[in-house]
Amino acid sequence: MIFLNLGHQPLANNYTNKKELSKKKKYILTVQYQKKNNLISIKKKFKSKIMFNNKYPYRSSLSKTMRKNFKDLAKNLINKFHPKKILEIGCNDGVFLKNFNSQVTVGVEPCKNIADLIKLKKINVHKNYWDLKLANKIKNKHGKFDLIYSANTITHIKDLDIVFRSINQVLSEEGILVIEDPSLLECIKNVSYDQFYNEHIYVFSLISLQKILKKHKLEIFKVENLNVHGGSNRYYIKKSMNKKIRINHSVKQNKIKELKYKLDKFITYRKFGKNVKESKRKLKKLILDIKNKKKSIIGYGATAKSVTVMNYCGFKSDEINYFVDTTPEKKNKYLPGTNIIVKKYKINSLKNIDYVYLGAWNFKNEILNKERKYIKKGLKFITHVPYPRII
Ligand code: TYD
């Protein structure tokens, strides 16, 4: 049951330096609810091969917040579980695995340009997509793992059955699977519709994930609510047969929270759909009012989320003059689907700018702190989360 139509959208990380190409190749992005397992997914699901290739521009280690989060998590996992062998599915540039002894880690990263960055850190990496074939290959080569970690990856893979069957192949009987992904509850509460783009095939709630895992004899034993990526959940999962681990009260607490918010009812999503339309109307008004006063607006953080917002609201370089971003791979390319160019972020990028649209709103604190000198001088930030406004 479809509840949201975000219009014509491009592949969110398809950066090009050719303006004409940027505007071509769009598809209609709609979001649907599956009653059976309360699962939210985008309707048109692309194959991994199309989205994650050797030109993938996203790098986890470019944010200070993320580097610190991964470092702290690695320390906690070592202290709590004393893992002997660790596998990460979707290890990006190795920002998490580099915190462990490289002798005991294995990474999976299908984007070869990103995987090549990992070699420098001497981490054992398989440059393939996560599936049964790769899981078998890894099991034959490295044996089973007592810790498997995956952040912001599982929700990017179309066939969840294959994902968890493959995990079951390589997870030891008493092993632990830790996954983290944006929280559907936070997405709905914050009207952060930009969590939806081609790579985010699913946005999990606890209740949906529980149903999917049950089929694979896997069970969530703890949930942590995180601030990262605009509100995420970290799920600690074990094999159902393993009775040594007790179920933490956080599982029940989070379930109650989600049911109270009616994440198991279609009407919640219908209401969300209406809120999204209202958010678009208000953001357009805010931006156009500023432009009418002949002020400059640039975007900060050329995120995949910004691609959804710019394309859904129909913003062009007349409204958002350009974006600045720290990612080398995005430099001098067009924000997918638009004629808005991405410039390399420089220390004085915000000099003489009136307003900044916060594309990377999930790093609000890090960015506002970094740019406080300009804010003091009168620079203003705009966000649409949880509602369009000047910060
Ligand atoms: P992110 O919000 O993680 O991603 P997405 O929506 O694409 O999944 O991406 C953050 C982007 O913002 C990334 O392109 C790097 C950029 N960025 C900056 O340019 N400066 C900053 O200070 C921060 C924190 C991020």
Q: Is 175 in the pocket of ligand 1 (CB under 6 A)?
A: no
Q: What is the per-residue pLDDT for 118?
A: 85
Give the CA-trace dihedral at 36, 89, 91, 126, to 10 degrees: -140
Separation of alpha carbons 213 and 265, rounded Å:
20
- Take residue 71 and report the two structure tokens written for it: 């470092």
The number of the ligand 1 atom at minimal distance from the alpha carbon of 300 is 19
Residue 382 pairs with which residues in a beta bridge?
357, 390
Return the residue whose CA atom lies nearest to atom 12 of ligand 1.
301
Query: What pairing do the DSSP bridges indicate for beta strands 218-226 and 232-239?
Result: antiparallel
DSSP conformational letter for 82 = -
The number of the ligand 1 atom at minimal distance from the alpha carbon of 197 is 6
Separation of alpha carbons 15 and 336, rounded Å:
6
Residue with tokens 């202290």: 79
Whether 255 and 262 have beta carbons less than 8 Å apart is answered as: no
Cα 194 to ligand 1 centre (Å)? 13
Q: Helix (H, G, I), strand (E, B), or coil: what is residue 232?
A: strand
Q: What is the pTM of this model?
A: 0.95
Return the residue whose CA atom lies nearest to atom 2 of ligand 1.
360
End-to-end alpha carbon distance in the chain: 35
DSSP conformational letter for 43 = S
Cα 303 to ligand 1 centre (Å)? 5
Cα 360 to ligand 1 centre (Å)? 5
Taking alpha carbons only, the member of 68, 63, 141 closest to residue 106 is: 141
Cα dist. 130→148, 157, 338, 380 in Å? 13, 8, 32, 43
Cis amide prior to 386 (ω within 30 degrees): yes
Return the residue whose CA atom lies nearest to atom 1 of ligand 1.
303
Taking alpha carbons only, the member of 219, 193, 301, 210 closest to residue 255 is: 210
Residue with tokens 């929700």: 155
Q: What is the per-residue pLDDT for 20?
A: 73
Q: Is 371 in the pocket of ligand 1 (CB under 6 A)?
A: no
10 Å CB burial of residue 173 (0-12, 13-18, 19+) is: exposed
- Which of the listed residues 303, 306, 322, 340 should we mutate to test ligand 1's pocket, taking the one with most ligand atoms within 8 A of CB? 303
Q: What is the per-residue pLDDT for 120?
A: 67
Q: Is 367 in the pocket of ligand 1 (CB under 6 A)?
A: yes
Cα dist. 312→19, 308, 335, 340, 372 in Å? 18, 6, 13, 14, 30
Q: Is 338 in the pocket of ligand 1 (CB under 6 A)?
A: no
DSSP string, 205-223: -HHHHHHHHHHTTEEEEEE
Q: Is 301 in the pocket of ligand 1 (CB under 6 A)?
A: yes
pLDDT values of the chain reduced to their tens digit, one per residue, 391 residues = 999 999 999 999 999 988 777 677 899 999 999 999 999 999 999 999 989 988 888 888 888 888 999 999 999 999 999 999 999 999 999 999 999 999 999 999 999 999 988 876 778 999 999 999 999 999 999 999 999 999 999 999 999 999 999 999 999 999 999 999 999 999 999 999 999 999 999 999 999 999 999 999 999 999 999 999 999 999 999 999 999 999 999 999 999 999 999 999 999 999 999 999 999 999 999 999 999 999 999 999 999 999 999 999 999 999 999 999 999 989 999 999 999 999 999 999 999 999 999 999 999 999 999 999 999 999 999 999 999 999 9
Separation of alpha carbons 164 and 355, rounded Å:
45
Please state the φ and ψ torsions of residue 24, each to the nearest 5 degrees. Answer: -80, 175
Please state the φ and ψ torsions of residue 124, each to the nearest 5 degrees. Answer: -70, 110
DSSP string, 86-128: EEEES-TTSTTGGGS-GGGEEEE---HHHHHHHHTTT-EEE-S
Separation of alpha carbons 216 and 163, rounded Å:
10
Q: What is the per-residue pLDDT for 245?
A: 97
Whether 52 and 111 have beta carbons less than 8 Å apart is answered as: yes
- Which of the listed residues 311, 327, 368, 369 should we mutate to test ligand 1's pocket, taking the one with most ligand atoms within 8 A of CB? 327
Residues 129, 42, 382: CA angle, nearest 5 degrees: 105
Q: What is the per-residue pLDDT for 58?
A: 83
Cα 304 to ligand 1 centre (Å)? 9
Q: Is 22 in the pocket of ligand 1 (CB under 6 A)?
A: no
Q: What is the per-residue pLDDT for 1?
A: 96
Q: Is 234 in the pocket of ligand 1 (CB under 6 A)?
A: no
Radius of gyration of the chain (CA): 21
